[in-house]
Homo-oligomer: A and B are copies of this chain.
Amino acid sequence: MKEFELIRRYFTEQVIKRKDVVIGIGDDCAIVSPSERQNIAIATDTLVAGVHFPEGTSARAIGHKAIAVNLSDLAAMGAEPTWISLAITMPEADLAWIEAFCQGVFELCEFYNVQLIGGDTTRGPLSITVTAQGLIPKDRHLTRSGAKSGDWIYVTGEIGDAALALKHVFGEVVVADEFLDDVRKSLDFPKPRVLAGQALREYATAAIDLSDGLIADIGHICKASKVGANIVLEDLPTSNALRETVGTEQAYELALAGGDDYELLFTVSENNRVGMETALANTGNIITCIGQINGSEKISTTLNSKSVSINAKSYEHFANNQNSKD
């Protein structure tokens, strides 16, 4: 099985060499030396072929997404990403595939100064498990549990396009050519909001990344914080592509329930709104206020100030699977 040896070489040919990595790939373990006064955040996510990405997804996109979804978890806690362990199981040693996969992995790692420190390469049905670690000043991490009645609810970027892309892949809608590239990128190349997460340490009362869908994820915050929330539908940040393809009403549904957005959803007190908006603008992130926390312990939605009920059951991955969000 010399091919698997060759695969490993791709993983050692990375550009990033962090000073806090004492031993990287090649021994029984990696050894890292975190700076004092920092805690470590750890996230693990698995992508399974046919469950978390459609068959036929490009290797580069799979590599990007495997890293991005984990960096997104780190961002939701306010951590600065540092080290990645990558376990890849694949049916055969396909060197062209692995080269493109590594391109997707290393593009993100280089952008965020993250070093691949180890992992495992095994034969079997295609799946990728990444454990990503990051540093965070002690007692400065964001959680889901700090939202208070009266806090404002914000989201980064635009939401619903990843769900639209999936509908296109499965032939349920047709996205026009002029939009297709951007829409497909939302699904295949999600942008983890790493800098936004770090900026939010100073301001947010709670944060989560949008993987299950807005309604499910604001539900996670409300449950952990023992509060309720109202979402203002007409304020949801959706793309022209989404609204023009499916109309306003279904755009709301996909934005609320679609999942796979990997934007940050967070809450801020009235007093911290201006400071947070300035700080986030400095990171280059666009944010939108989409509602407010209340004491009801329920999730409600309004449209033009009138209560509306929505068809937004919790997102399930398209192969009827569900992520654990740990």
State the 5 A-B residue pairs at the shortest beta-carbon distance, nearest first: A48-B124, A123-B321, A129-B129, A28-B76, A131-B131
Q: What is the CA–CA distance of A239 and B141 in the complex, to the nearest angstrom?
A: 52
* A324 touching B121, Cβ below 8 Å: yes
Chain B CB count within 10 A is highest, among A42, A46, A50, A322, for A42
Shortest Cβ distance from A207 into B: residue: B28
* A73 touching B131, Cβ below 8 Å: no
Cβ contacts A to B, 26 pairs, < 8 Å:
A1-B322, A26-B224, A27-B145, A28-B144, A28-B208, A28-B325, A28-B326, A29-B74, A29-B76, A29-B79, A30-B43, A31-B136, A33-B39, A34-B40, A42-B133, A45-B87, A46-B89, A46-B129, A48-B89, A51-B124, A87-B129, A120-B129, A121-B323, A122-B323, A123-B321, A124-B321
* A40 touching B40, Cβ below 8 Å: yes
CB distance from A67 to the nearest CB of B (A): 15
Q: A203 in the interface, Cβ–Cβ < 8 Å?
A: no
Q: A85 in the interface, Cβ–Cβ < 8 Å?
A: yes
* B44 touching A40, Cβ below 8 Å: no
* B28 touching A120, Cβ below 8 Å: no
Q: A209 in the interface, Cβ–Cβ < 8 Å?
A: yes
| Chain B residues near A127 (CB-CB < 8 A) | 89, 122, 124-125, 127
| Chain B residues near A121 (CB-CB < 8 A) | 323-324
Known contacts A4-B324, A52-B122; A117/B87 CB under 8 A: no
* A40 touching B46, Cβ below 8 Å: no
* B44 touching A119, Cβ below 8 Å: yes
Known contacts A4-B324, A123-B321; A31/B39 CB under 8 A: yes
Chain B CB count within 10 A is highest, among A89, A207, A322, A324, for A324
B-contacting residues, A288-323, CB 8 Å: 316, 319-323
| Chain B residues near A125 (CB-CB < 8 A) | 48, 124-125, 127
* A51 touching B123, Cβ below 8 Å: yes
User: Which positions in A face B, CB cutoff 8 Å?
Assistant: 1, 4-5, 8, 22-23, 25-34, 36, 39-46, 48-52, 73-74, 76-77, 79, 83, 85-87, 89, 117-125, 127, 129, 131, 133-134, 136, 138, 141, 143-145, 207-209, 224, 316, 319-326
* A324 touching B120, Cβ below 8 Å: yes
| Chain B residues near A73 (CB-CB < 8 A) | 28-29
CB distance from A177 to the nearest CB of B (A): 33
CB distance from A14 to the nearest CB of B (A): 13
| Chain B residues near A45 (CB-CB < 8 A) | 87, 120
* B120 touching A44, Cβ below 8 Å: yes
